[in-house]
Amino acid sequence: MSRIGRQPIAIPPGVRVSLDGPTLSVKGPRGELSLTVSSGISVDITDNVLSFRRKSDRPAVRAQHGLMRALANNMVMGVSQGFEKRLEVRGTGYRVNVTGRKLSMKLGFSHDVEIEFPPDIEVKVVGTTTRDQLPTSIIAISGIDKGKVGHWADQVRRVYPPEPYKGKGIRYADEYVRRKAGKTG
């Protein structure tokens, strides 16, 4: 049996979980999410505990067992606490502004880069600091859906990935960028 799939999920106070056919719905203080559960997986909700069991031992069903449990756990955590990814924009003269649902960045290109976010994703410029002698702006991307938060953080990072020589670019706050020596001579 899947080690992840076997673990029960404790439902925190203020979160309601319901099962309507193959659809698992989770509602909490931050919002509501739903998931279509795979046909080979059965869901049991008892005493504020959510557990998943597989109906057969076929490889396709075994692969879905841990996945369904992990997705449901992310939904429960998302509607109760939410998820956040932090990005650092490093570089001299690089500026970041948030106007409404739009993130506008000046990254040394001949034009400003603008990214529009969906309504369920929140973007904030948390602050500025200096790291490795480069001015750094910190962006926080948050929401209740872990997959969407990660997707939009990646979309922002792809605009200007960190380069290994000076360390300029957009990186995750906890990302290590391996530096290279420049030309000599």
Per-residue model confidence as pLDDT tens digits over 146-164? 999 999 999 999 999 999 9
Domain boundaries 3-80, CATH class: alpha beta
Per residue in 3-34, pLDDT tens? 888 899 999 999 999 999 999 999 999 999 99
* pLDDT number for residue 31: 94
d(CA 184, CA 52): 59
Tell me: pLDDT of 185 over 80.
no
Model-wide pTM > 0.95: no
What stretches of 40-118 show up as alpha helix (H) in DSSP?
Answer: 59-80
For a pLDDT cut of 90, what percent of the chain falls above it?
83
pLDDT score recorded for residue 2: 62
- Domain coordinates in residue numbering, the chain: 3-80, 83-172
Give the residue with greater pLDDT, 184 vs 98.
Answer: 98
Residue 32, φ and ψ in degrees, nearest 5: -135, 140
Does domain 83-172 correspond to CATH entry 3.90.930.12?
A: yes
